Amino acid sequence: MATIERAEVLICCPGRNFVTLRLTSSDGVTGLGDATLNGRELAVASYLRDHVAPLLIGRDPDRIEDTWQYLYKGAYWRRGPVTMTAVAAVDTALWDIKAKLAGMPLHQLLGGRSRDGVMVYPHASGQTVPELLDDVARLLDLGYQAIRAQAAVPGLTGSYGVKKNGRYEPADSARPEEQAWSSEAYLDFAPRYLEQVRQRFGFDFHLLHDVHHRLTPIQAARFGRSVEQLRLFWMEDPTPAEDQESFRLIRQHTCTPIAVGEALTSIWEVQHLITNRLIDYVRCTVVHAGGITHLRRIFDLADLYQVRSGCHGASDLSPVTQAAACQLGLAIPNFGIQEHMGYPPQTAEVFHSGVQLKDGCLDVDDSPGLGVEYDDQAAARFADFEPKYLPVARRLDGSVHDW
């Protein structure tokens, strides 16, 4: 029997912070797992280094399901982003090892290809509507089949998802930036710029929009109804999802499709949404929802209810997650779409990935495993962790809102 001999927690900052788990088996095979939790990175690093790594040494790397159950049930303290990200990192690294030993890209072990590539959507954004429209034109020229559109609400500093100086990085300040938000102003403005996108570019591509948990259920219902004629691919996170039942009200009022799950970490947090048919796309992803093993379980449940996948794919999910999500997306029957935000240029110096983009779809090469190599020498050039936090949104009266 092979054993897990080494478990290393690797922290690097090639343009942004990433935490990576690398497991090495007694056969000398290595596996990678992403462990990045934006703004709370070191909590997961410690969970892995101090509490999980010592338990892994000597275990059989072949037993992926058993290790998942051991870490999830054995901790007694279940779920939550820190725990589930740590479990995900171990699970992903073990799948990487198994597929490397099999000499196959991971999707082969998951049942093989169901499709030629995974359709992605990049982000178009603008501080102004003309800037947004130019950005949509640029992305359509690049061959994307689906695009997310976000513009800054005039007069507010709190519009998530909008580029500053050519790039969007959600966590970009050493203390949380405090931003001003008005749902009323947003509700007045957003449907109008989305309409301008359709007016200028037509309906021959998928248009997506992220509401980023900013509305109440009744506001979200109104928003969804007001954009119905624009035929959005989805409205994302229309309201915070702690209260899964609140989506029923939105559902009763609009046929704009709904996507939820980027901040949810387990099947239990989407169970009610899925089994009550309250959403159309489930956005949980490998790194924050317990790895390949658990995410596949979520997608299998979703498939019974005609809910499709729509994995979160922001820049704070490392290229290891991107590759893992791509491998899973190639294999599952109910793939929907994959978010594709891209990375700062330095990131590719550390993570050498076989994931490629063609005609608006991602695909992997024939490398065994996930198809990602971690370059230690390059990582040494970006060794300093830089504390970075997501912003905080405040309503115009100064009270804290959902960011």
Residues making contact with Co ion (CB under 5 A): 210, 262
Q: Closest CB to ligand EZ4 among 55 and 156? A: 156
- Do 38 and 316 form a contact (C-beta atoms < 8 A)? yes
> How many other CB atoms sit within 10 Å of the CB of residue 345?
9
User: Element (H or E) spanning 197, and its range?
Assistant: helix 183-201
Per-residue binding letters, 9-48, with ligand EZ4 (x by CB under 6 A): -----------------------------x----------
- Closest distance of CB 123 from Co ion, Å: 10
Q: Which residue of the chain is nearest Co ion when measured via CB?
A: 210
**337: which 2 tokens?**
């779409």
Binding-site size for ligand EZ4 (CB under 6 A) equals: 11
Kindly list the catalytic residues.
160, 212
One-letter amino acid of 233: F
Which of positions 340-359 make contact with ligand EZ4 (CB under 6 A)?
none
Q: Which residues of 118-149 are buried (b: 16+ CB within 10 A; e: fewer)?
A: bbbbbbbbbeebeebbebbeebbeeebebbbb
Phi, psi dihedrals of residue 175, rounded to the nearest 5°: -130, 150
First and final CA of the chain: distance in angstroms?
Answer: 48
Binding partner of 214, given ligand EZ4, Co ion, none, CB within 5-8 angstroms per partner class? none
What one-character DSSP code corresponds to residue 208? Answer: E
**94: which 2 tokens?**
């073990």
Of 59, 79, 107, 212, which lies in the binding site for ligand EZ4, with binding defined by CB under 6 A?
Answer: 212
- Closest distance of CB 123 from ligand EZ4, Å: 8
Binding partner of 261, given Co ion, ligand EZ4, none, CB within 5-8 angstroms per partner class? none
Is there binding between residue 163 and ligand EZ4 (CB under 6 A)? Answer: no
Show Cβ contacts of residue 28 under 8 Å, excluding neighbours closer than 6 positions.
none
Binding partner of 193, given ligand EZ4, Co ion, none, CB within 5-8 angstroms per partner class? none
Of 34, 262, 269, 363, which lies in the binding site for ligand EZ4, with binding defined by CB under 6 A?
Answer: 262
Q: Closest CB to ligand EZ4 among 23 and 262? A: 262
CA angle at 97 for the pair 57 and 40, rounded to the nearest 5°: 70
Which position has the token pair 């996507």? Answer: 259
> Angle at which helices 319-331 and 81-102 pack, to 10 degrees?
70
Which of 65-73, 150-158, 312-320, 393-401 is the region at the interface with ligand EZ4 (rule: CB under 6 A)?
312-320
Is there binding between residue 105 and ligand EZ4 (CB under 6 A)? Answer: no
Is there binding between residue 314 and ligand EZ4 (CB under 6 A)? Answer: yes
The rounded distance, in Å, linking the Cα atoms of 128 and 135 is 11
Of 170, 191, 360, 369, which lies in the binding site for ligand EZ4, with binding defined by CB under 6 A?
Answer: 170
Which residues contact ligand EZ4 by CB under 6 A?
A: 38, 160, 170, 210, 212, 262, 312, 314, 316, 339, 390
